[in-house]
Amino acid sequence: MLPSWFSFENLKWILTTLLIPLTLFYLNQQYQDALTKRQEIDAKLQTHRQNTDARLRLYTELLSKREEADTSLRKGIFDKVLETYLKDAKNIDEKLVALELLTVNFNDSLDISPLFWQLLREIQQKAQKANRPMLLERLERVSSQVKSRQLELLEAFGDRADLNFSTEVLDAGADKPFEMERPIDRDFTFIDPDETDPGQRGKTRHFAIYPLEYDPTGRRVFVSVDHGTVKSNTQRIQFWVDEYDFPLANFSRISKSERFAVVMRRYKPPDIGLTLIYFPSSRSGVKDKPFIDEVVSDLKRDVQK
């Protein structure tokens, strides 16, 4: 037989009296556990942030020292070679040697095309007639080597296409068809290895190039380049291209990450060979590189993501 005090209402009161402190104890314990875990996570994040800041400082110091050492070395070479080229060179042969040294050490950071033009004028004006063909051949060989090296470097991460045409077609008249061997009119694609966002690494753009005018005195060709993300929506750029335009120094900017250049690969009038190279800005010349503070700023943004 149940006690007289036992009833549903009394049982409800007992359970309520016992459950309230138990529930409060449980909730308090859960709060304390969550607070402890939060403090542990904050401590780990703080440690990670401190380690990341230390790595950033170390990276910045190493980058600065490396650039200082590289700049000092290149400055010594540059001063010596330029002094030889401008002051001490006794003949065109010595200037050609000095020019070759400049192209080997500074072709990615110095626009050396004015030196090629100056030496070309000297060969045409001062060189003995018997030596002129040999000197012109050497100058052409140095120029071709620079363009080949730079194109190979950019092609490793970019996309290129070649076209050949005869300057005679430029004077054929409006009623004559314009014919080119392997004309450039297609999509170009590159993958930027330095892009942190995987969705932005691949770039595709349509290019079409049309030679419009030939200037034999300036040894150059006037070209029109259409480009766009789709063939039906393009922009047009027109400029002169000569045989001493090098892609790491003479290129066109399309966006923050996209560059293209038109190179006169072969100059044997009436036959002209052009190359269009489409490449990421991270592989362009030194003058197109970000400063150290920009690099560090990008690194900090990546860390904060």
Question: Could you please report the per-residue DSSP string of 256-271?
Answer: SSEEEEEEEEEEETTE
- Contact at 8 Å (CB) between 250 and 127? no
Question: Who wins on pLDDT, 82 or 37?
Answer: 37
Tell me what the mean pLDDT of segment 229-242 comes to: 87
3-class state of residue 7 by DSSP: coil
Counting beta carbons within 10 angstroms of the beta carbon of residue 12, is it exposed (0 to 12), middle (13 to 18) or buried (19 or more)? Answer: exposed
3-class state of residue 121 by DSSP: helix
- Contact at 8 Å (CB) between 116 and 257? no
> Treating both helix axes as pointing N-terminal to C-terminal, what angle do 8-83 and 92-106 enclose, rounded to 10 degrees?
170
The confidence band for 56, taking pLDDT boundaries of 50, 70 and 90, is confident
Counting beta carbons within 10 angstroms of the beta carbon of residue 305, is it exposed (0 to 12), middle (13 to 18) or buried (19 or more)? Answer: exposed
The confidence band for 225, taking pLDDT boundaries of 50, 70 and 90, is very high
Question: Who wins on pLDDT, 73 or 92?
Answer: 92
The confidence band for 86, taking pLDDT boundaries of 50, 70 and 90, is low
Q: Identify the pLDDT of residue 198.
A: 75
Q: Identify the pLDDT of residue 279.
A: 93
